[in-house]
Amino acid sequence: MTPQAYLNKSSTNISTGGKKAIIFVDANNWYHNVKKWCKPSTIDIKKLSEFISREKDLEFKEIRWYTSMPDMGDNPLIYKNQRAFLGYLEKQGIKIITRKLQKLSTKEVKKKRQEFIESWDLCEVCKPLVEASFLDMADNFQKEKGIDVWIAIDMVKEAIKDNLEVAVLISGDADFVPAFSLIKGIGKEVLSCSVPFGYSSELRQKFPFLILRRDILTKCLKDYESKK
């Protein structure tokens, strides 16, 4: 196999001579699962893509990073940090697709908090007191809305347009099972890649997969992180 070509500002191609592929990164799923091992921003997505290309003999034509954007008015610092990180990815030639975070409805907030309360196993005296205060607290819970659907549509669209032979998804979310089924029906291949945490068993049982272990991520650290 030929040496791995690093991505540059004008292109995200990784030449391996293998099957043509596009990598779709579900950034929210990636962040919440990887953070159990390390700080997600320390992982170099280029290096990770190169590892996958070597393992599966693929030629990545493009890397797409799908993420939600916080509201600058809610937390200017978080917004600024997110923009800086996305700017770094863009300089590497990675395509960024964003959607705005949506506020949870009051009903959704109360449901989430009720689930927390039930998990705490409170006594009969404490539980009513906690419910009375905790359920009425104001908060800025937010959720991602539309990212999974956007990724699924793009994967199917690129498969139909014959822009890929393999759709590679960095996510362990079972919500992508229907999209993978459609892509296979079109006659293209699929591959999901994720850390063990939160990796859907249905996704792994039905389609090819690659578990990204801790030792793999260690080899994919950004250069300045690996020297620490």
Cα–Cα distance, 97 to 23 (Å, whole number): 13
Residues in the chain: 228
Question: What pLDDT sits at residue 153?
Answer: 87
Question: What pLDDT sits at residue 141?
Answer: 42
Q: How many CB atoms lie within 10 A of CB 206?
A: 16
Range list of H helices, 123-173: 126-134, 147-160
Question: Which residues sit opposite 59 in a β-bridge?
Answer: 20
Question: What pLDDT sits at residue 226?
Answer: 52
Q: How many CB atoms lie within 10 A of CB 138?
A: 6
Closest CA relative to residue 90, chosen from 8, 20, 27, 5: 8
Domains in the chain with CATH codes: 19-101+144-226 (3.40.50.1010), 102-143 (no CATH)
Q: Give the gyration radius of the chain's Cα atoms.
A: 20
Taking CA atoms, 81 is separated from 41, 42, 72, 86, in Å, by: 11, 14, 11, 9
Question: What pLDDT sits at residue 54?
Answer: 92
pTM > 0.85: no
Taking CA atoms, 37 is separated from 30, 41, 100, 189, 215, in Å, by: 11, 12, 27, 30, 11
Block means of pLDDT (10 residues each) for the chain, length 228 residues? 32 60 95 89 92 94 88 69 85 86 56 64 59 48 64 91 96 93 93 94 96 94 64
Question: What pLDDT sits at residue 214?
Answer: 93
Question: What pLDDT sits at residue 99?
Answer: 77
Tracing tokens 């063990």 back to the chain, one arrives at 196
Taking CA atoms, 209 is separated from 2, 131, 192, 205, in Å, by: 24, 42, 5, 9
Closest CA relative to residue 104, chosen from 77, 146, 139, 69: 139
